[in-house]
Structure 1
Amino acid sequence: MLFRNRFLLLLALAALLAFVSLSLQFFHLIPLSAASKNGVSSKSRKRIMPAPVTEPPVMDPVYEALLYCNTPSVAERSMEGHAPHHFRLVSVHVLIRHGDRYPLYAIPRTKRPEIDCTLVANRKPYHPKLEAFVSHMARGSGASFESPLHSLPLYPSHPLCEMGELTQTGVVQHLQNGQLLRDIYLKKHKLLPSEWSEDHLYLETTGKSRTLQSGLALLYGFLPDFDWTKVFFRHQPSALFCSGSCYCPVRNQYLEKEQRRQYLLRLKNSQLERTYGEMAKVVDVPTKQLRAANPIDSLLCHFCHNVSFPCTRSGCIDMEHFKVLRTHQLEDERERREKKLYLGYALLGAHPILNQTISRMQRAAEGREEEIFALYSAHDVTLSPVLSALGLTGARFPRFAARLIFELWQDREKPSEHFVRILYNGMDVTFHTSFCQDHHKRPHKPMCPLENLVHFVRRDMFAALGSGSTNYYDACHKEEF
């Protein structure tokens, strides 16, 4: 009997020790594996840089750069398509930034980063539809594209990327975006009929190959092996998607004042000036020439593709230089949000595309089943003013392959009522917008009424300018500015 009691006691003690050990591992109080001689575990030794799992407590330029790169990895969790069961999805309007691209600028007297812009199946990042995408694009040379889009290549194909060219990473980013939207909007919500036609889509892109190719990659992920005869991409000459409403003198005056603010902020940053001087010595050019070459654009490409920063006989541009330049970018974005100059530019710059969007939403709400899926393939300078105009002050600067989505929903219990949701990179930001910040306090209406967005675009955007104007034309030509 005594032996049995001792055995049970020892068994209970062993179970307790096992529980404590597992608990300590769960809360990371002891390491999961033994460290190597240099203090780095065998599993983590291969990592050059940790993945951005949790957001750091203070601004970290490296973490922010990783988010900006948006390198495809695991499947993304998103909030698109979430609504109470009695709501019906009516239309979806997608505004994207093109995917990862080769730099637009070259650092003087350095070798260009060697990045292959052909699409290769056995090279990362990869997508299961990559080969099929290339094959389908090869059959689309006679498809309908508004001039001058028909002269652009439908997918990247240079062994050494050309300036500004979409990379394989950029293609995969938007194949993933398209597949994600397909799973939600087509498979779950049946947004498009099985026999959809050209009338159901509205596709528009700027005249750059990277935006056309990004739009095609997303469209292929969304509608695999689509019928080319049902697709028509419209050309948008302006990055603001302002069509025939681009002439706006007051908007340009806001932009000039905003650029002046940027210049003054740079002059105040002595560390930035020292860094430019050090980098200029490395490449043996005047500091002014290096600054004009916008080196951060090229360095971000090196960073995103894990390519070493440039070196010369005089030394190397290094991570500390990169951090200083990237930190200044982040500080500029923070100050820009705090000042009203950019907001004025954003309100006038974003109005045309927002006005187009609500017009399509209103037609869909009236029951017209055309242009119920709209795709605008654009740039960071397109998304950024739209985010600011909507009042999304906490939104990060548009990363590669960023997406901003407007969803229109109908309440089946009250069919005359329509609502909108705004999503940025999969996050529901509806109640962070300036036109719907307080609406979440009304639990009986879980979404933002469509009329809130309509009133904002048609009336409140002009009131926010404080100019007394009541329409876009008057706000753009106000002489007292």
Structure 2
Amino acid sequence: MFFRNRFLFLLALAALLAFLSLSLQFLHLIPVNPVKEDGLNSKNRKRIMPDPLTEPPPIDPIYEAQFYCNNPTVPERSMEGHAPHYFKLVSVHVLIRHGDRYPLYAIPKTKRPNIDCTLMPNRKPSHPQLEAFIGHMSKLGSEAKMDSTLSGMPRYPSHLLCEMGELTQTGVVQHLRNGQLLQDIYIKKHNLMPNDWSAKHLYLETTGKSRTLQSGLALLYAFLPDFDWKKINFRHQWSTIFCSGNCVCPIRNYYLGEDQRRQYSLRVTNIRLEKTYADMAKIIGIPTKQLRASNPIDSMLCHFCHNVSFPCTMNGCINMEHFKVIKTHQLEDEKERQEKKYYYLYALLATHPLLNQTVNRMQRITEGKSEELFVLYSAHDVTLSPVLSALGITEARFPRFAARLVFELWKDEKKNKEHFIRILYNGVDVSSQTSFCRDYNRRYNKPMCPLEKFVHFVKQDMFSPFNSTNYYDACRRRLF
């Protein structure tokens, strides 16, 4: 009996010690492995899960490329038009990038991707309103008011083999979908436009490229189906940053140059990228420098988005590994661009004229001096990208095809008729990510941002990094 009790006692004691040891290891009070004097584990244990606080997820270039293509058949959630019931929608301001296009550059000595730019409703991707859109665009006479630069442009793409930079059927469908989505929310749900709307309720502006005009028309047609051409007045904007009459800005150009030097430095130090360019150049049979100058990623993205094989020669084929290396570098460049701040300073000065115009328009609307309800700027990636940067939305992806940035102006019908804004990027509410509303959202946990915060940012805060109080001085004051 004595030995049995002693055995049970020792067994219980061993179990208790084992439990305490495991508990201390779990709480990291004692190390799992012995630690050497240099602080390294004696065994290189494989970690199962990365530490989310220190290790960002690896970049997936294929996923990012698919997101950039923006397949219009993939369902999309949208947060536009969400507000408490006592808020009234006053106006909507939309900045878009044109839809999917044919490459701007060709890879030398290779066959161009065979993409058909005619519009055919029975060819995928399609849209329920595509056939009606083609018919309505074909009926255009002299009734539409357009600046002379735009009046001679085709209203929709029509070449059997796309021309360089031409909008594709995918691009048209992308913006028909955008327009239908905005119509469902802003017109059907919030009654933004009256039934007897007229030209005074719209402000439409586009750059002088057919792809931006056609993208704008596609979105507008789905937003206001079978619109009266007499009520449409598209204005031409010659600048891709929409700076209108305020484009002279030496300091803006200086920071753009600094960012381009940063880009160059990052590229030449990327050994894997340079080897990839050299391998591709060998396949094609041209100098590496010539290949690099042709910006091959532009053409390769077209192949990728349209599921067309990459070019081949007698020496071999450009392949997915080449594409992944170049796309990965592109993503790394975007990340570094956010960190170095040269682009941010460029963006503040580049986008001030456009944001100032938006703020002024909103203020006139709140004062009853303007009746513009829907504003559309049809533009490019080089338009949207600096706007996102200037607003402080650092986590935003580079503008994909048919990207949309929406500014909603609301009135609080319950509280002194105060005005608020919401900012949405591709349907996601990013208001709380902006530099001027981040702290307000944290402090008050409100779903919207006061208009006065946006006004103060554009009229004052945008000049602070340049030790200036106005756009003219900020553009000319030397900081170096």
Determine the structure 1 residue equivalent to 2:26.
none
Determine the structure 2 residue equivalent to 1:277.
278
Paired residues of 2:421 and 2:451 also in contact (CA < 8 A): yes
C-alpha separation in 2, matches of 1:236 and 1:342: 23
Where do 1:269-418 residues align within 5 Å?
Answer: 269-418=270-419
Determine the structure 1 residue equivalent to 2:118.
118
TM-superposed CA distance for 1:479, in Å, is: 3.2
C-alpha separation in 2, matches of 1:365 and 1:415: 13
Determine the structure 2 residue equivalent to 1:478.
477
Determine the structure 2 residue equivalent to 1:185.
186
In structure 1, the residue corresponding to 2:408 is in which secondary structure? strand
Q: Which moved more, 1:381-390 or 1:434-443?
A: 434-443
Determine the structure 2 residue equivalent to 1:3.
none
C-alpha separation in 1, matches of 2:109 and 2:377: 37
Determine the structure 2 residue equivalent to 1:138.
138
Determine the structure 1 residue equivalent to 2:425.
424
Determine the structure 2 residue equivalent to 1:15.
none
Determine the structure 1 residue equivalent to 2:218.
217
C-alpha separation in 1, matches of 2:80 and 2:192: 13
In structure 1, the residue corresponding to 2:262 is in which secondary structure? helix
Paired residues of 2:361 and 2:370 also in contact (CA < 8 A): no
C-alpha separation in 2, matches of 1:65 and 1:122: 26
C-alpha separation in 1, matches of 2:365 and 2:289: 53
C-alpha separation in 1, matches of 2:382 and 2:316: 34
Give the TM-score normalised by structure 1: 0.87
C-alpha separation in 1, matches of 2:467 and 2:318: 51
Determine the structure 1 residue equivalent to 2:448.
447
Determine the structure 1 residue equivalent to 2:42.
none
Determine the structure 1 residue equivalent to 2:88.
88
Determine the structure 1 residue equivalent to 2:45.
none
Determine the structure 2 residue equivalent to 1:34.
none
Determine the structure 2 residue equivalent to 1:39.
none
In structure 2, the residue corresponding to 1:202 is in which secondary structure? strand
C-alpha separation in 1, matches of 2:460 and 2:274: 44
In structure 1, the residue corresponding to 2:452 is in which secondary structure? helix
Closer, same or farther in 2 for the Cα pair 1:127/1:453, shift >3 Å?
A: same
TM-superposed CA distance for 1:414, in Å, is: 2.2
In structure 1, the residue corresponding to 2:245 is in which secondary structure? helix
C-alpha separation in 2, matches of 1:423 and 1:453: 14
Q: Which runs of 5+ in 1 are unaligned?
A: 1-55
Where do 1:177-256 residues align within 5 Å?
Answer: 177-256=178-257
Determine the structure 1 residue equivalent to 2:19.
none
Which amino acid in structure 2 is aligned with residue 59 of structure 1? I
In structure 1, the residue corresponding to 2:103 is in which secondary structure? coil
C-alpha separation in 1, matches of 2:305 and 2:157: 18
C-alpha separation in 2, matches of 1:271 and 1:141: 55
CA RMSD of aligned residues (A): 1.1
In structure 2, the residue corresponding to 1:243 is in which secondary structure? coil
Which amino acid in structure 2 is aligned with residue 394 of structure 1? E
C-alpha separation in 2, matches of 1:147 and 1:247: 24
Which amino acid in structure 2 is aligned with residue 165 of structure 1? E
C-alpha separation in 2, matches of 1:277 and 1:446: 51
TM-superposed CA distance for 1:369, in Å, is: 4.7
C-alpha separation in 2, matches of 1:229 and 1:184: 25
Determine the structure 1 residue equivalent to 2:20.
none
Which amino acid in structure 2 is aligned with residue 131 of structure 1? E
Q: Which moved more, 1:440-449 or 1:260-269?
A: 440-449
C-alpha separation in 1, matches of 2:282 and 2:141: 48
Closer, same or farther in 2 for the Cα pair 1:415/1:189, shift >3 Å?
A: farther
Paired residues of 2:80 and 2:427 also in contact (CA < 8 A): yes
Q: Which has the larger radius of gyration?
A: 2
Closer, same or farther in 2 for the Cα pair 1:262/1:141, shift >3 Å?
A: farther
User: For each residue in 1:423-453, what CA deviation from the matched residue of structure 2 results, as whole angstroms up to 9, or x when unmatched?
Assistant: 0000000000000002223447431100000
In structure 2, the residue corresponding to 1:245 is in which secondary structure? coil
User: For each residue in 1:353-412, what CA deviation from the matched residue of structure 2 results, as whole angstroms up to 9, or x when unmatched?
Assistant: 100101111111112452221000000000000000000000000000000000000000
Q: Which moved more, 1:134-143 or 1:84-93?
A: 134-143
C-alpha separation in 2, matches of 1:246 and 1:438: 32
C-alpha separation in 1, matches of 2:408 and 2:365: 11
Identity %: 71
C-alpha separation in 1, matches of 2:451 and 2:122: 46
Which amino acid in structure 1 is aligned with residue 364 of structure 2? R
TM-superposed CA distance for 1:480, in Å, is: 3.9
C-alpha separation in 2, matches of 1:348 and 1:185: 32
Determine the structure 2 residue equivalent to 1:457.
458
Q: Number of matched residues?
A: 424
